[in-house]
Amino acid sequence: MTPAVVIIGATSAIAEQISRLYAEQGAKLFLVGRNEKKLEIISDDLKVRGAACVATIAMDLTDTRLHAKLVEQAVSFLGDITHLYVAHGTLADNEACENNPQLAMTEITLNLNSPVSLLLHFAGRFRTQQYGTIAVISSVAGDRGRQSNYIYGAAKGGLSVFLQGLRNRLYVDNIHVATVKPGFVDTPMTTDFKKGMMWVSAKKAAKLTVYGVDKKRNVIYVPGFWRFIMLIILHIPEFIFKRLKL
């Protein structure tokens, strides 16, 4: 069956690489993002790579009033949705957020409120279909709060918990929900970070994500070694953890 894929946050580096993998399979793609020009370039690119058809919608994803309509638009373009990828997000400077709570709220709105609203809207559609896969990019940062990025981490942590519940709820409807937790991925979002051995390219991250989704994994660490790193981090007793500079 030809995949019919909705990608939210389609201009993000990982999402773009994911859509390329689907384009090469001849998929139908429905892309949602903020930057119209970038969406247009990506859409042209995906057509050359083999996508059967591509639609793009440029919108502000924090405007939750538009979410219901977005689902309708996606369905009218694709028919049944085989895959939904939710990949939008920002990584604001933690210190800037600490000094400016308003900025922290914006960060949480975009990384938590917006995907929650979208997913609840799309969940309705998936339940009528009685099949399909939902994959959402969360983060290893959501596994445990650390002083260096706990605001972003709080949003992603909230999202991960939400996804656990959603997976539980949609299981009976034959719908798979995957939580994707990337570690360090080399993207425009992380341009200012010093890169080392732990980093992977967006292309690699996308491959691992789609592989995990195809295998119906519930929680996909990208790359897999992060599962062990986070296992250790989660098991450090709090009275020690609070003293660490992480």
Partner 1 sequence: MSYHYRSWGLNPQIKQIACVLNGATEQDLAGPHKAQKLLAYGCGSSYGDVCLNDEGVLLDSHRLDHFLNFNPDTGVLRCQSGVTLRAINQQLIKYGWFLPVTPGTQNVTLGGAIANDVHGKNHHLAGSFGCHVLKLGLYRSQEGSIECQPDKNAELFRATISGLGLTGFIQWAEIQLKKISSPYLRTEKMVFTGLQEFDALSNDADKAYEYTVAWIDSVAAAKYRGRGVLFCGEHADSSADRRPSKKRILSIPFNAPTGLLSYPVIKTFNLAYYNMHRLTSSKALTYYEPFFYPLDSLGHWNRLYGKKGLYQYQCVIPAEGGVEVVEELLAICAHYRQGSFLSVLKKFGSIKSPGMLSFPRPGYTLALDFRNLGESTLKLFSALDKVVFANQGALYPAKDARMSREGFRQSFIETERFKNYIDPLFSSNFMRRVII
- The residues of the shown chain that bind partner 1, judged by CB under 8 A, are 13, 24, 38, 41-42, 44-45, 48-50, 186, 188, 191, 194-196, 199-201
Interacting residues of 144 by C-beta distance below 8 A, sequence separation 6+: 153, 230, 233, 234, 241
* Minimum separation from the CB atom of position 80 to partner 1 (A): 26
* Minimum separation from the CB atom of position 47 to partner 1 (A): 8
For strands 132-137 and 185-186, give the pairing: unpaired
Q: Tell me whether residue 50 or residue 124 sits nearer to partner 1 (CB atom).
A: 50
Q: Tell me whether residue 134 or residue 222 sits nearer to partner 1 (CB atom).
A: 222
Interacting residues of 76 by C-beta distance below 8 A, sequence separation 6+: none
* Minimum separation from the CB atom of position 202 to partner 1 (A): 9
* Minimum separation from the CB atom of position 66 to partner 1 (A): 26
* Minimum separation from the CB atom of position 195 to partner 1 (A): 4
Q: Tell me whether residue 38 or residue 125 sits nearer to partner 1 (CB atom).
A: 38
Q: Tell me whether residue 44 or residue 98 sits nearer to partner 1 (CB atom).
A: 44
* Minimum separation from the CB atom of position 84 to partner 1 (A): 24
Q: Tell me whether residue 169 or residue 195 sits nearer to partner 1 (CB atom).
A: 195
Q: How far apart are CA 85 and CA 180, in angstroms?
A: 10
In the sheet with 132-137, reading across from the earlier edge strand, the strands are 53-58, 28-33, 4-8, 83-86, 132-137, 175-182, 219-222
242: left (phi over 0), alpha (psi -120 to 50) or beta: alpha
Q: Tell me whether residue 89 or residue 132 sits nearer to partner 1 (CB atom).
A: 89
